[in-house]
Amino acid sequence: MKRFENILGPEGCGSLGHFKRRTLLGAAAGLAWLTPLSRLLAASAEANSSTKRPKSVIVLWMQGGPSQLETFDPHPGKKIGGDVKAIDTPVKGLKLADTMPLTAEVMDQVALLRCVTSKEGDHERATYNMQTGYRPDPTLIHPSIGAILCHELSAEGVEIPRHVSIFPGPFSARGGFLGNKYDAFKMFDPRGQLPDLPRRVPEDRFQARLSDLDVLENSFAQGRRQDLGSEKTLHRDTIRRATTMMTSDQIEAFNIDQVPTEIQNQFGDTPFGRGCLCATQLIETGVRCVQVTLNGWDTHANNHQLQSARAGDLDAAYSATIKLLKEKDLLDETIVLCGGEFGRTPKINPAAGRDHWPHGFSVALAGGGIRRGVFLGETDPEGSKITPETKHAVRVEDIHATIHSALGIDYEKDYQTPIGRPMAVCQGEPIREILADT
């Protein structure tokens, strides 16, 4: 076994420890859709942790810019209101658009920010801004929330990627200056097994192949940049993680086929719904951050019909995610963020569409160290811009500071970029009104 350590590392799939875990758990695997390993890991984490802290994040990413007016911040009867009606929620004074009846029922678990502002109105730039908390900077790439989580929080015992993006869009979550190794693992509809996992040759030949590979990697490293493998190609690390995955029981978390139909139906029979269900399984297994993307919110024309359809997909999946996490007792450890890169204009354009609007839109947070059943502000019923001076106005970077704070990450500390430039984890301030008392 020793000769493979160079390529596999001490925690590689060839390690004795790994085989022991497999042997122990192999017999029990597949008996229930809640993987025994994840339960064991959860129990182990609980036993080891002195203070209970949220440990994971699910980002439900609404690519294109959802309309606040057709989702979380309706203004029916007003000139800007469009065709939606408002419905009650369990939270006093809070009404949602009637496109989201199931979500309305779980708002007592949610902290809703309705006066979020940003300075970016272009999809790519605004997505970057929302996912990293920083505005685009041509000199470096900032890490996304998931990358920071993976960098800061331990994922001991997790044999599958700790940062996952389901239905990745064109601007997927990056490790940025923290390194490509924190980039999200990209996957699509979680039906069936992940492909290419079984090895093609007997174990002894496979191990000999890895040994050959080790010789070639040593050769390639000679005379080249010292950090080439660790910071750029990540080749050895990627092979090590791939071979670990090949023999891990935890890969079952990527597959929702074993989940009872009744539960699958609660998430809606949509790719996004399946993605959200998969996200809960991954979080349960110990994955730090899962981003699930729902596309189709960029409604410059025919706004009402298109937003209603997307809101329908979101409604079932979002409410089911919150409920399932709560049922599994995971909501206290998991922050669920739901939002897009910006909102949409109060004014309806001649094509019955709404355009980009970074001057007041909604972001919903739930779980983890976030207060439940609160909402901050609302956009102007007449359609005026929210400015930083507006009561309850929240900047994008403040949302990041809030999440990091709730996760127990020192959001003010500086990272060093590869060229030695200090860069704070986050520029914003936590939103105290939505942080739960610790």
Partner 1 sequence: MWLKNIAFIALATLLLASLANWLLLPPKVNAIDRPTIVVSDGIDTARLAINEQFQKVWQDNDLKPAPKADDLTIARRISLGLTGTIPSLEEIRLLENRPAEDRIAWWVNHLLEDRRFGDYMAERLSRAYVGTENGPFLVFRKRRFVTWLSDQLMANRPYDELTRDLIAETGLWTDHPGVNFITATIDQDGTKEPDVARLAGRLTRAFLATRIDCVQCHDDNLGGDLKQSDFHELASFFREAQNSFVGIRDDKGKPYNFKYLYGDEEVTVPAQVPFNQDLLKESGGTLRQRLADWVTHPENKPFARAIVNRVWAVMTGRPLVQPVDNIPLDGSFEEGTYPAGLEPLTDDFIAHGYDLKRMIRLIASTEAFQRDSRADHELTAEHEATWASYPVTRLRPEQVIGSINQASSLHTLNADSHVLTKLVTFGETNDFLKRYGDAGEDEFNMDGGTIPQRLLMMNGNLVKERTKNNFIRNSATRVASLSPNDQVAVETAFLCVLTRRPTEAELEHFVGRLKNKDIKANRSQDLEDVFWALMNCTEFAWNH
Footprint on this chain of partner 1 (rule: CB under 8 A):
119, 121-122, 125, 161, 170, 174, 180-181, 183, 185-187, 194-202, 204-205, 208-209, 212-213, 215-217, 219-220, 222-229, 231-236, 238-239, 241-243, 245-246, 349-350, 355-356, 418
For partner 1, give the closer residue by CB, 174 or 404: 174
- 78-to-303, 345, 380 alpha-carbon distances in Å: 16, 14, 10
What sign results for the dihedral spanned by CA atoms 230, 415, 173, 265?
Answer: positive
Other C-beta atoms within 10 Å of 212: how many? 11
Asked if residue 129 lies in contact with residue 395, where contact means CB atoms within 8 angstroms, the answer is no
CB of 151 to partner 1, least distance (A): 16
For partner 1, give the closer residue by CB, 187 or 278: 187
Q: Quick one: DSSP state of residue 175?
A: -
Task: Report the SS3 class of residue 344.
Answer: strand
Q: What does the DSSP assignment read for 47-83?
A: HH-SS----EEEEEEETT---GGGTTS--TTSTT-TT
For partner 1, give the closer residue by CB, 131 or 402: 131
Please tell me the total number of residues recorded for the chain in this structure.
438
For partner 1, give the closer residue by CB, 99 or 129: 129
For partner 1, give the closer residue by CB, 352 or 435: 352
- The DSSP bridge partners found for residue 113 are 363, 376
CB of 392 to partner 1, least distance (A): 24
Asked if residue 301 lies in contact with residue 369, where contact means CB atoms within 8 angstroms, the answer is no
For partner 1, give the closer residue by CB, 25 or 246: 246
* Residue 149, phi then psi, degrees to nearest 5: -60, -45
CB of 236 to partner 1, least distance (A): 8
Exposure string (b/e) for 90-121, b if CB count within 10 Å is 16 or more?
A: ebeebbbbbbbebbbbbbebbbbbbbbbbebe
CB of 394 to partner 1, least distance (A): 20
CB of 283 to partner 1, least distance (A): 19
For partner 1, give the closer residue by CB, 211 or 265: 211
Residue 227 corresponds to which tokens in the numbers above? 């950090």
CB of 240 to partner 1, least distance (A): 9
Q: Exposed, middle or buried, 139 (CB in 10 Å: 0-12/13-18/19+)?
A: exposed
CB of 215 to partner 1, least distance (A): 5
CB of 319 to partner 1, least distance (A): 31
Q: Quick one: DSSP state of residue 435?
A: B
For partner 1, give the closer residue by CB, 55 or 236: 236
